[in-house]
Homo-oligomer: A and B are copies of this chain.
Amino acid sequence: MSSKNNRLIYLPLGGAGEIGMNAYVYGYGPQGKERFILVDIGVTFPDMDGSPGVDLIFADISWLVERADRLEAIFITHGHEDHLGALAMALPMLKVPVYTRAFTGNLAVRKLEEKGMNPDVVQVVAPYPHHVEAGPFKVSFLPVSHSIPESSGLVIDTAAGRIVHTGDFKIDETPVVGEAFDHALWGQVAKGGVKALICDSTNVFSPAAGRSEATLAPAIQQLVQKAPKMVVATTFASNVARVKTLAEAGRAAGRQIVLLGRAMRRMVEAAVQSGVLVDFPSTISPEEAATLPRERVMLIVTGSQGERRAASAALSRGKYLGMELEEGDLFLFSSKTIPGNEKEVIRIVNALSERGVDVVDDGADLYHVSGHANRPDLLRMHRLMQPQILIPMHGEHRHLRAHANLARENGIASEIVVNGTMIDLTGDEPRVVEHIEAGRTYKDGSVLIGALDGIVRDRIRLALNGLIIVTLIIDEEDEPLGEPWIELRGLAETGVSGTGFADLVEDDLGQLLNRADDKTLANDDKLEDALRRRVRQMAVEELGRKPEVQVIISRLMS
């Protein structure tokens, strides 16, 4: 029952301000006593610029953890890492059931089992009109086409109205694997009226209507057919439809198929187990392939984004599992390079070029289609669902803004809601009611740290500046015992004067200590400060740099 005191809120913790680490909270109930559901809990990937050495990044969910007793459930829309990847890290803090469809569930269970966690928490549910009751929410999985099997939008019913959360989607009537986009079904959901459509914004800048997964088969088949030697194709392993199209092109050209890369084999296995993939061509092992003529082999491999440890990179470098690429082989990127991964992908292309391998990428728009709705497809979705308000998600700020403008230009109200903004959807007009600290959590080895804890910032400083370590012993009478000792990390040993820099600094600091007054020598902070300043000054003079300086003073006790 609705009541004046209840409110319906939406609070993105991740995914509204970046493409990645999706985590969306919905709440319903009296203020401060709302019951919550969490939609998706994904990761984003670290990079050397901002997060060197970090393993994975996900949304800071501490706000939700503090209210974990009010969380009813987690719903995962699909199995991509940016939607599912942080489940094993977040679940111990949240301890609620996880609802998914079968294929996503298969992947979720594998993830939890890998970490030695109990996978019974994952509950596989049937699609709409079946629904899950989660406190004040009735939630249904509404099948939608995307670039992984069994993606779903969510129909979230509350006493304050119906929300449709699209999840990642495209409008594809012939998706090769999995369910086609069902206009009638989505239209049926829209019938009772949609209060808010929370909508994927990824491809809002793509002006032409999206193309179906099925359109790729002829071009891929033709390419593989005419290849004179071995063919290697890479794509996202989770794009099971693409993997199937590639494998079928290989079989049609009389080639035996080898799947290389752990993710590739695991995804195909999960798709078969969960029943979404049938009639996949049989595969052979690399060992078997090595006995065949090159023109009878096709490898389908991981590493479309240039990942250094994936099969693509390994093959570009040399022999891998007995296979070695040669002059005249063909390497197909049936994929798009995600912004930021260009250098890694290009490194592989150049390494393949050095081996004489012919590389074909998606430059001509022949061998890849996106999994997201383009601008005209977004408009179709808006018109189909006719929401009271469109809230763009799954985008950087520029995507959210363009998507909101698109909706408004076509007569639908829209609001940009970024990570950490809590919006009250109860009334006719949405209202921002709170801003919470929305940040990032780093999985750093086996430890979770905050992005702003300074730990990773310190690593970045070490990389940019190098480090000088100064060690010094002070005796029982507060007198230096011997000279300070200098260790350099990441710095040239010799500066502009041509003399060893460490020696120079040791001599100079020795003199500084000789001149230092008793008060300075007796005070660690003062002494440390004096040494650090002098070392930095010398580094500027000799090396033209301002390094990090770590001073370690050991005092002998009487």
Q: What residues of chain A have their CB less than 8 Å away from a CB belonging to chain B?
A: 47-49, 52-53, 205, 339-340, 342-343, 346, 349-350, 352-354, 356, 359, 363, 396-398, 400-401, 444-447, 449, 453, 455-456, 458-460, 462-467, 469, 471, 473, 481-482, 485, 487, 489-492, 494-496, 542-545, 548, 550, 552, 554, 556-557
| Other A-B pairs, 6, CB within 8 Å; known A445-B545, A455-B491, A459-B463 | A52-B463, A52-B464, A444-B544, A444-B545, A446-B545, A473-B554
Report B-chain residues with C-beta under 8 Å of the C-beta of A489.
458-459, 462, 467, 548, 550
Instruction: Give the complex CA separation of A77 and B456 in angstroms.
Output: 43
Cα–Cα, bound, A313→B49 (Å): 17
Give the dominant DSSP class at A's interface. mixed
How far apart are A291's CB and chain B's nearest CB, in angstroms?
A: 30
**Shortest CB–CB separation between residue A362 and chain B, in angstroms?**
12
B446 touches A544 (CB 8 A): yes
Instruction: In the A-B complex, list the 7 residue pairs whose CB atoms are closest, starting with the nearest.
Output: A446-B544, A445-B544, A463-B463, A459-B490, A445-B545, A52-B463, A462-B462
Give the complex CA separation of A204 and B345 in angstroms: 18
CB distance from A137 to the nearest CB of B (A): 32
| 12 A-B contact pairs sorted by A residue (CB < 8 Å) | A48-B460, A53-B465, A53-B466, A339-B343, A353-B397, A444-B544, A455-B491, A462-B462, A462-B467, A469-B469, A469-B550, A481-B556
Contacts of A496 in B (CB 8 A): 446-447
Contacts of A343 in B (CB 8 A): 47, 49, 339-340
With both beta carbons as reference points, the residue of chain B lying nearest to A343 in the complex is identified as B340
Q: When the two chains form the complex, which single residue of B455, B490, B495 contacts A458, counting CB atoms closer than 8 Å?
A: B490
Query: A397-B354, A492-B444, A545-B444 given as contacts; is B552 within 8 A of A487 (CB)?
Result: yes
Q: Tell me, rounded to whole Å, the shortest Cβ–Cβ distance linking A275 to chain B.
A: 36
Contacts of A482 in B (CB 8 A): 554, 557
Q: How far is the CA of A512 from the CA of B192 in the complex (A)?
A: 72
On whether the beta carbons of A353 and B490 are closer than 8 Å, the reply is no
Is B398 within 8 A of A464, CB to CB?
A: no
* Min distance, Cβ A138 to any Cβ of chain B, angstroms: 36
* Cα-based distance from A545 to B447 in the complex (angstroms): 9
Which of A53, A340, A352, A456 neighbours the largest number of chain B CB atoms within 10 Å of its CB?
A: A53
- Residues from chain B with a CB closer than 8 A to the CB of A453 are 492
Q: Which of B363, B396, B460, B485 is close to A552, meaning CB atoms less than 8 Å apart?
A: B485
Check B492 against A447 for contact (C-beta < 8 Å). Answer: yes
A421 to chain B, nearest CB (A): 13
Chain B residue contacts of A352, Cβ below 8 A: 398
Contacts of A471 in B (CB 8 A): 471, 552, 554
Q: Which residue of B lies closest to A448 (CB)?
A: B492
Residues of B within 8 Å of A465, CB to CB, are: 53
Question: Which chain B positions have C-beta within 8 A of A481?
Answer: 556
Contact of A487 among B490, B491, B550 (CB under 8 A): B550
Decide if A495 touches B543 in the complex (CB within 8 Å).
Answer: no
Give every chain B residue within 8 A of A485 (Cβ-Cβ). 552, 554
Q: When chains A and B are docked, how far (Å) is the Cα of A53 from the Cα of B492?
A: 12
- Complex Cα spacing A202 to B112, Å: 48
Taken together as a complex, chains A and B put the C-alpha atoms of A466 and B354 apart, in Å, by 35
**B492 contacts A449, CB within 8 Å?**
yes
How distant is the Cα of A98 from the Cα of B396 in the complex, in angstroms?
Answer: 48
Contacts of A349 in B (CB 8 A): 398
A492 to B464, CA, bound (A): 20
Contact indicator B473/A466 (Cβ below 8 Å): no
A480 to chain B, nearest CB (A): 12
Which residues from chain B contact A545 at a C-beta distance below 8 Å?
A: 53, 444-446
In the complex, A445 Cα to B491 Cα: how many Å? Answer: 10
CA distance A443 to B103 in the complex (A): 52
Query: Inside 8 A of A445's CB, which chain B residues have their CB?
Result: 492, 543-545
Identify the closest chain B residue to A359 (Cβ).
Answer: B398
Chain B's nearest CB lies how many Å from the CB of A474? Answer: 11
Q: Which residues of chain B come closer than 8 Å to A339, judged between CB atoms?
A: 342-343, 346
Establish whether residues A463 and B53, one from each chain, have CB atoms under 8 Å apart when the complex forms: yes
Task: State the CA gap A356–B400 with chains docked (Å).
Answer: 12
Most buried by B among A352, A356, A552: A552
Kindly list chain B residues whose C-beta atoms are within 8 Å of the C-beta of A400. Answer: 353
Note all chain B residues with C-beta closer than 8 A to A342: 339-340, 342
CA distance A47 to B554 in the complex (A): 38
